[in-house]
């Protein structure tokens, strides 16, 4: 079945540590996105990529980094510069870079600072 | 700044009633509109999308779009306790235009 796989489901980060969240899709979608969701709040865009080897900052990119070396993969690194990383992280993809067809979401990664 | 606004709720309705969720958007260039349902701790799932003015029905769900008023709504008929969730409204567009999500409306259907 086609879909988006995010791993791990739960992740714990120590202070000052970098962690990487995985996002893989087999939908042959061109565009991929990373969102952050805090409790009781909406989705905020971190980074997005319309094509391989290219990505753009979203509204809250500080303290995060991404890569897009393969069409199927869009990993997100939460760096030590992100001072409040505890949140629910969602990866999404869309056909051809156009949001007119909607997003498909992964199941999410819940990151907690310990 | 492109915005999508929703009442945060909670919106409480009795089981079997019609739940009405509303959304307004600021960008007249938005071409497509989506309603996602998100259960607590889960990722959003697409339940309806609409591109043209008017109504679109799918089972118990009806999406309504009025581009002149920049207004989108979702009606849920015969509401069930399993419909209790947060409903996210989103506006999309052409290549290069990212989704703009509203903050979501929390719906509670009371048995």
pLDDT in tens, chain A (114 residues): 679 999 999 999 888 899 999 999 999 999 999 999 998 788 999 999 999 999 999 989 999 999 999 999 999 999 998 889 999 999 999 886 666 678 899 999 999 988
Q: Report CA torsion sign: B82, B83, B86, B91.
A: positive
Residues 6+ apart with CB under 8 A from A42: B88, B101, B102, B103, B104
Q: What gap in Å lies between CA B38 and CA A107, rounded to an integer?
A: 11
- Average pLDDT of the segment spanning B2-14: 90
Please give the pLDDT value at position B45: 94
Please give the pLDDT value at position B94: 64
Q: Write the residue in A33, A41, A48 that is nearest to B103 by C-beta.
A: A41
Closest CA to A90 of A51, A44, A29: A44
Q: What gap in Å lies between CA A6 and CA A29, rounded to an integer?
A: 15
Please give the pLDDT value at position B39: 96
Tokens matching residue A10: 């739960």
Please give the pLDDT value at position B37: 97
Mean pLDDT (chain B, rounded): 92
Q: How far is A107 from chain B (nearest CA, A)?
A: 5
Q: Which of A6-15, A39-48, B20-29, B42-51 has the lowest mean pLDDT?
A: A39-48
Q: What gap in Å lies between CA B50 and CA B59, rounded to an integer?
A: 15
Please give the pLDDT value at position A99: 64
- Test mutation, A87, A88, A103, chain B, max B CBs within 10 A: A103
């Amino acid at each position: 079945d086609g879909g988006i796989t995010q791993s791990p489901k739960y992740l714990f980060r120590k202070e000052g540590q970098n962690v990487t969240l995985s996002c893989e899709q087999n939908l042959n979608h061109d565009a991929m996105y990373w969102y952050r969701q805090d409790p009781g709040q909406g989705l905020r865009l971190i980074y997005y990529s319309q094509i391989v080897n290219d990505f753009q900052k979203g509204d809250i990119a500080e303290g995060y980094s991404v890569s897009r070396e393969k069409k199927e993969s869009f990993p997100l690194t939460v760096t030590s510069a992100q001072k409040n990383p505890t949140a629910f992280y969602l990866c999404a993809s869309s056909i051809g870079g156009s949001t007119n067809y909607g997003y498909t979401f992964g199941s999410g990664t819940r990151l907690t600072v310990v | 700044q492109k915005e999508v606004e929703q009442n945060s709720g909670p919106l409480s309705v009795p089981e079997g009633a019609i739940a009405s969720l509303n959304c307004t958007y600021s960008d007249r260039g938005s071409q497509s509109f989506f309603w996602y349902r998100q259960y607590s701790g889960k990722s959003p799932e697409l339940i309806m999308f609409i591109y043209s003015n008017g109504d679109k029905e799918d089972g118990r769900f009806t999406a309504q779009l009025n581009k002149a008023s920049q207004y989108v709504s979702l009606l849920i008929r015969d509401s069930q306790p399993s419909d209790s969730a947060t409903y996210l409204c989103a506006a999309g567009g052409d290549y290069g235009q990212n989704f703009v999500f509203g903050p979501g409306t929390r719906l509670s259907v009371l048995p």
